[in-house]
Amino acid sequence: MLDDVGLLAARSTVGLSLASHGTQKAFGWFGGPGAKGAAAFMESLGFVPGGRYAQAASCTEIAAGTLITLGFLGSLGPALLLCVQTVAATTVHAKNGFYVNKGGVELNTMYITAALALAIAGPGKFSLDEVLGLQKLHKPLPRWLVLAGGLGGGIFMLTRRTPAKPVAEAAPSSNGSRQEAPASS
């Protein structure tokens, strides 16, 4: 019984946190950038058109978070989480090292670990899967196939990026000499 309470607490925390990230991108809730800001950010990462990729990311985060929170459809929620965090870790955070205070992969690593742990443990008794009799979704083969699909989806998304544009060429100054364009952050 306490194990199931622990799983419910973990699912709720991970799921609601992830879903809130999706609503930041989609609607600008919780101080997020909203659809236009998320689209511009996605384009800066090489995902063009940015609006389509921002919408895909936000919908995936909302769906994954909701499925995890409800304990519904086996490992699908954790697999979707694995997909979006693989992309985020690779495109945004890996270059910054590990710790989140430097923009690193710390949070991505925690989300990925939570996704794997929740997929392996299953959602517990306090879940829609339990209520609906969907325990067969938690057998090893379906679990690992769905998780592999989530990882594969993330890798596929990474292949969809357009190559990063080189830093702007040096622009001529008013006196005709060439000056380096400022690097964007």
pLDDT digits (tens, 9 = 90+) for 107-128: 999 999 999 999 999 999 999 9
Separation of alpha carbons 71 and 138, rounded Å: 11
pLDDT at 37 over 90: yes
**pLDDT attached to residue 180:** 37
Burial environment of residue 168 by CB neighbours within 10 A (0 to 12, 13 to 18, 19 or more): exposed
**pLDDT attached to residue 163:** 72
DSSP summary character for residue 135 = G
**pLDDT attached to residue 67:** 98
Separation of alpha carbons 61 and 18, rounded Å: 6
Six token digits for residue 167: 């830093």
**pLDDT attached to residue 166:** 52
Given a contact cutoff of 8 angstroms between Cβ atoms, the answer to whether 120 and 79 are in contact is no
Given a contact cutoff of 8 angstroms between Cβ atoms, the answer to whether 53 and 92 are in contact is no
**Cα-flanking dihedrals φ and ψ of residue 46, to 5°?**
100, 10
pLDDT band at 164 (very low <50, low <70, confident <90, very high): low
Per-domain boundaries in the chain: 7-161
pLDDT at 100 over 80: yes
